[in-house]
Amino acid sequence: MLRIIIGRLLLAIPVLLGVSLLVFLILHSVPGDPVTTFYGMDVGPGDDLDAMRAEFGLDKPLVQQYLDFIYNAVQGDLGNSIKTRRPVVEDLTQVLKNTAQLAFASISIAIVFGLLFGILAAFKPYSIWDNITLTISLLGISLPIFWIGLLLIWLFAVKLSLLPSGGKGGIEHLILPAITLSLPSIAVISRVTRASLLDILNEDYIRTARSKGISNIKVMLRHTFPNGIFPIITVVGLQFGYLLAGTVLTETVFAWPGLGRYIVDAIKFRDYPIVQGGVVIIASIFVVVNLIVDILYHVFNPKLRNEESQ
């Protein structure tokens, strides 16, 4: 297990370096600079734009800027925001905490209902239950996320006055954005669960178990689900990574102060440190999620554990 973890972490180094370099080049390929963009219209008699550029290291050659960013990032310093002059790490920590709260709530809803719909569809293929779950999945994937959010706000906040329309506060502020965000994940998890379990249900040992009079629930718990869980683990991990990476539309519709909304606002003002640091954090999230998925594969699959011990 330790060898797997070390190997994945070593592979993550070139990935993170490549992502940071690509974002750096894209940001600096746009004409102009963030100091002029942000301060250019409000420059006073005593302001010196060149001094501001020097303050943020924008007067250095591009190679030196990138090397400085990597050197500082390795030490946990992502620089200061050009807009607020606050440390980027502090701001990213706060907005990532908000996004994590929303992501955990959303993925919990998605796992419960995605597995439920997928299991029902697998054990009753081509039945009315299967058609209902297929319809829900198609709607969850096809409908625009911002439209679903606005519809829920109109129904539960405007018409019924049951829940707040947005902002961050108590748990009541979390319900609508979490439901909105979970719908596409429910659709994906339910379809993958159905397909994975159907493959297992067609195996000979499942037919043998049923012929012995074992109930469907026991067949599912003892034989079907343990053997069909691996694709489900993968898709749940990827969906959770997407949620943690920040969901701009949902956070914008519900005025949720999360990571995606924070980075988009920084892009508008060309706040280099925030965008570079935010993208590196997102890439790191996917690396960690993929590592956790690999570990779960080894935990649930005895064959992989035996191969590793040999």
- How many other CB atoms are found less than 10 A from the CB of residue 159? 9
Instruction: Give the residue from 252, 265, 267 showing the smallest Cα distance to 167.
Output: 252
What is the maximal distance between C-alpha atoms in the chain? 89
- Listed by start position, the domains of the chain span 2-74, 95-268
Q: What is the pLDDT along the chain (310 residues), one digit of tens a residue?
A: 677 777 777 888 888 889 889 988 888 887 767 777 666 555 554 456 777 778 778 888 889 989 998 998 888 888 888 888 888 888 888 888 888 899 899 999 999 999 888 888 888 888 888 888 888 888 888 888 888 899 999 999 999 888 888 888 888 889 999 999 998 899 899 988 888 888 887 777 777 777 777 777 777 777 777 777 778 888 888 888 888 765 788 888 888 888 888 888 888 878 888 888 888 888 888 888 888 877 777 776 656 555 555 5
Give CA–CA dist 24/277, Å, rounded: 10
Q: Cα–Cα distances in Å, from 213 out to 125, 208, 217, 219, 236?
A: 20, 9, 12, 10, 33
* Spatial contact of 285 and 92, defined as CB atoms under 8 Å apart: no
The residue written with tokens 């707040």 in the block is 164
Q: What is the pLDDT of residue 225?
A: 73
pTM above the 0.75 mark? Answer: yes
Residue 45's pLDDT is 47
Three-state SS sequence of 162-208: CCCCCCCCCCHHHHHHHHHHHHHHHHHHHHHHHHHHHHHHCCHHHHH
Per-residue model confidence (pLDDT) at position 151 = 92
Torsion (CA) 125, 131, 132, 136 in degrees, nearest 10:
110
> Which residues are paired to 293 by β-bridges?
none
One-letter amino acid at 183 equals L
CATH (one of 3.40.640.10, 3.10.310.40, 1.10.3720.10, 3.20.20.20) for 95-268: 1.10.3720.10
